[in-house]
């Protein structure tokens, strides 16, 4: 064991991590050697001092657009080049970052079965194209850490007993008690394969083409650390740890959120924040709310966690006209410590996850939500339970179609309802992530579902770039209307200190159909009351009910309306949002 010294530094911290990860494994690990190897891979000084803690690397100006590398297509042009043109011409100044979903060579799951972590898919572009985007925008990339493709070189080598790959994949006996394992799929967990050592059964949390890596082998950890260093060198500043909750396996347990998994996240945070000041980790853990929050640790794990409960609860509130569950959940959410933040989103490349709503919505309410989404053209994906039954796991639908009506059926207020969802999300404590198809108001893509055979493809439309630009420049286009209204909200958000991701937030109690909360800037100079009518009927709002301070001039940032007295009544149209503030702009005048 490495001896502690008066001049202890980074090496001691990394040593602590690797000891905690490997002390209960049957693998014989030289902790000292492994710690030094990890630092060498990251090109870090063993005695490097710790960076400042509890520092916020974000502000109210930050918003991240989420997209596939090939969502925008133009004949004769590489998709990453087309994407940068869209960012520069239509999103510059409105989003500060872009999450490009897996841009590596892949074999299935639209990128999440990685063939080669070190390469850019040649059909998308090159590392030079990635670096060009990273040079102007905060780049988020996926570290697909739990599994890789069953057709990767690593797995082919595993099957042949060669390196690199030998010992890289988790195997288990089909006779082991795996009944407690929590999974998001209904396929068989184990896949039988032949190796030089005989028949083995590899672990496949997601699909048989996505084989789980075995982090009990330190060589796997070293490979991932090497990949992180390469991504940093190519401009990646935000790492999305995909499906990280499933990373460590111990048969007889749920194999979800195990302590070793949390320690691996802590190790990656230590390495990343020492390597590049301001670099961040975001954990992608589509699990019940309490478990999701655990990935903040004590501000020593993820910088950000996905706010997975927000999409199902917000969609449910808007289609039922009842915000009670959304309000109850918000009141239960602890403020993020400085140095951490929520990552808020309403839509993503996946569907609307239902596990994060478990315990927040009743089974009957979840079933009503599922039924409503099916009526609007959505599909439902299932997960396996311990008793062999299955349960809805995810609703697959484009958010624009999900909000085209209410539990009573479709109506004419879809655009207003859709914009209301984003107005709520953009005002909440946290950093907003906006799926490109939400920015564009994209509809369900049934043809892509039929072609791919996967329900998630319904929300992964590919736009021909020139056709999209024509839509955005037509005043009567629904896509142009959505784009303009969400852009306006983003522009407003950027100059309001009360919308800092870590600014104070309190929930307001305004009944079941008015959803509201109060934000206050960290210097307490600005307050914003964010109130949305989530119902189909006009509703009165008494300004006295939201405790405006004094009788000074208050203004709704969205409509520009001014209010001079707490005694005023305001009528909110269906799905209208107001951001009522006492001060506006950079100078808070």
Sequence-ordered strand ranges (E) for 176-246: 190-195, 198-203, 210-212, 236-242
Q: Per residue in 35-62, pLDDT tens?
A: 999 999 999 999 888 889 899 999 999 9
Q: For residue 588, name the pLDDT band (cuts at 50, 70, 90).
A: low
Write the CATH number for 508.
Answer: 2.60.40.1180
Classify residue 551 by burial, with Cβ atoms within 10 Å: 0-12, 13-18, 19+. Answer: exposed
Do 521 and 422 fall within a single domain? no
324 in a labelled binding site = no
pLDDT for residue 6: 36
Q: Mean pLDDT across the chain, nearest whole number? A: 94
- Going from the C-alpha of 579 to that of each of 152, 229, 396, 423, the distances in angstroms are 50, 42, 31, 9
Instruction: Specify the pLDDT at position 384.
Output: 78
Tell me which of 448, 469, 491 is where a domain ends.
491
* Residue showing tokens 């994906």: 381
Mean pLDDT of 24-40: 94
pLDDT for the residue 281: 98
The dihedrals phi and psi of 65, each to the nearest 5 degrees, come to -90, 135
Per-residue model confidence as pLDDT tens digits over 77-131: 999 999 999 999 999 889 999 999 999 999 999 999 999 999 999 999 999 999 9
Name the strand (E) or helix (H) holding 563: strand 562-563
Query: Could you tell me which of 222, 184, 223, 218 has the C-alpha nearest to residue 204?
Result: 184
Question: Do 427 and 572 belong to one domain?
Answer: no
Over pLDDT 70: what percentage of the chain?
97
Q: Determine contact, residues 533/574, Cβ cutoff 8 Å.
A: yes
Does 574 map to a domain?
yes
> Which has the closest alpha carbon to 318: 479, 485, 536?
536
Q: How many domains does the chain have?
A: 2
- Asked if 419 and 540 sit in the same domain, the reply is no
Residues 304 and 339 reside in one and the same domain: yes
Of the listed 70, 129, 242, 556, which one is catalytic?
Answer: 242
Contacts of 585 (CB under 8 A, 6+ apart): 495
Rg (CA), the chain: 24
539 contacts: CB under 8 Å, gap ≥ 6: 513, 514, 533, 571, 572
Q: Are residues 222 and 293 both part of a single domain?
A: yes
Distance CA 381, CA 385 (A): 13
Question: Over the stretch 335-382, which tens digit does the pLDDT of each residue have?
Answer: 999 999 999 999 999 999 999 998 999 999 999 999 999 999 999 998
466 marked as binding residue = no
Q: What angle do CA 327, 331, 333 make, to 5 degrees?
A: 115
Q: Is 525 annotated as a binding residue?
A: no
128 and 240 inside one domain: yes
State yes or no: 147 annotated in a binding site: yes
Both 478 and 521 in one domain: the answer is: no
Q: What's residue 553's pLDDT?
A: 82
Q: Binding residue per annotation — 233?
A: no
Is 242 an annotated catalytic residue?
A: yes
Does the annotation flag 45 for ligand binding?
A: no
Residue 207 belongs to some domain of the structure: no
CATH code for the domain in which residue 242 is found: 3.20.20.80
Domain assignment of residue 256, given as a range: 64-146+216-309+332-349+414-491
Q: Give the pLDDT confidence of 281-319 residue by residue, as tens digits.
A: 999 998 888 899 999 999 999 999 999 999 999 999 999
Residues 115, 104: contact at Cβ < 8 Å?
Answer: yes
Name the band, by pLDDT with cuts 50, 70 and 90, for residue 550.
Answer: low
Q: Please indicate, yes or no, whether the overall pTM of this predicted structure exceeds 0.85.
A: yes
* Contact in structure between 169 and 158 (CB atoms under 8 Å): yes
| Whole-number Å distance between alpha carbons of 99 and 435 | 9
Residue 512 annotated in ligand binding: no
What's the CA gap between 328 and 325, in Å, rounded? Answer: 5
Same domain for 225 and 296, yes or no, is yes
Q: How confident is the model at residue 1 (pLDDT cuts 50, 70, 90)?
A: very low
User: Can you give the pLDDT at residue 551?
Assistant: 57
Give yes or no: residues 485 and 527 share one domain.
no
């Amino acid at each position: 064991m490495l001896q502690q010294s008066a001049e202890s530094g980074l090496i001691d911290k990394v040593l602590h991590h690797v000891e905690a990860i490997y002390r209960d494994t049957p693998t014989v690990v030289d902790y000292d050697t492994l710690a030094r190897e990890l630092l060498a891979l990251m090109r870090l000084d063993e005695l490097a001092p710790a960076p400042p803690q509890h520092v916020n690397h974000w502000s109210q100006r930050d918003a991240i657009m989420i997209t596939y590398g090939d969502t925008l297509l133009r004949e004769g042009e590489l998709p990453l080049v087309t994407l940068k043109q869209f960012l520069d011409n239509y999103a510059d100044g409105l989003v500060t970052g872009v999450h490009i979903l897996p841009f590596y060579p892949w074999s299935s799951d639209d990128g999440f079965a990685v063939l080669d972590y070190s390469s850019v898919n040649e059909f998308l572009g090159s590392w030079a194209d990635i670096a060009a985007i990273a040079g102007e925008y905060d780049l988020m990339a996926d570290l697909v850490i739990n599994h890789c493709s069953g057709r990767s070189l690593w797995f082919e080598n595993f099957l042949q007993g060669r390196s690199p790959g030998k010992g890289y994949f988790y195997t288990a006996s089909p006779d082991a008690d795996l009944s407690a394992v929590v999974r998001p799929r209904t396929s068989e967990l184990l896949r039988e394969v032949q190796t030089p050592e005989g028949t083995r059964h590899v672990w496949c949390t997601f699909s048989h083409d996505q084989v789980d890596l075995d982090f009990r082998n330190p060589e796997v950890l070293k490979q991932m650390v090497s990949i992180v260093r390469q991504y940093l060198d190519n401009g990646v500043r935000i790492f999305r740890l995909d499906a990280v909750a499933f990373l460590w396996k111990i048969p007889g347990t749920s194999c979800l959120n195990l302590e070793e998994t949390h320690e691996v996240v802590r190790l990656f945070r230590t390495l990343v924040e020492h390597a590049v000041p301001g670099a961040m980790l975001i954990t992608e853990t589509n699990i019940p709310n309490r478990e999701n929050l655990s990935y903040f640790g004590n501000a020593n794990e993820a910088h950000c966690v996905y706010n997975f409960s927000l999409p199902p609860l917000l969609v449910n509130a808007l289609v039922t006209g009842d915000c009670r569950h959304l309000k109850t959940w918000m009141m239960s959410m602890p403020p993020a410590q400085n140095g951490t933040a929520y990552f808020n989103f309403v839509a993503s490349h996946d569907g609307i996850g239902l596990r994060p709503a478990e315990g927040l919505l009743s089974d009957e309410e979840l079933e009503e939500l599922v039924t409503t989404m099916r009526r609007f053209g959505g599909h439902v994906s299932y997960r396996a339970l311990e008793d062999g039954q299955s349960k809805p796991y995810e609703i697959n639908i484009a958010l624009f179609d999900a909000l085209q009506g209410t539990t009573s059926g479709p109506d004419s207020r879809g655009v207003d309802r859709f914009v209301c969802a984003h107005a709520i999300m953009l005002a909440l404590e946290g950093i907003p992530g906006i799926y490109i198809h939400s920015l564009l108001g994209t509809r369900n893509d049934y043809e892509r579902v039929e072609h791919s055979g996967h329900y998630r493809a319904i929300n992964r439309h590919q736009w021909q770039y020139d056709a999209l630009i024509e839509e955005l420049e037509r005043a009567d286009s629904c896509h142009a209307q959505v784009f303009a209204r969400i852009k306006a909200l983003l522009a407003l958000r950027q100059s309001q200190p009360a919308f800092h991701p870590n600014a104070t937030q309190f929930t307001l109690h305004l009944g079941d159909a008015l959803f509201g909360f109060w934000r206050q800037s960290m210097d307490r100079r600005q307050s914003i009351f964010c109130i949305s009518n989530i119902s189909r009927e006009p509703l009165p709002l008494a300004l006295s009910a939201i405790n405006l301070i004094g009788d000074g001039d208050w203004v709704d940032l969205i409509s520009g309306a001014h209010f001079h007295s707490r005694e005023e009544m305001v009528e909110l149209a269906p799905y209208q949002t107001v951001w009522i503030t006492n001060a506006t702009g950079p100078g808070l005048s």
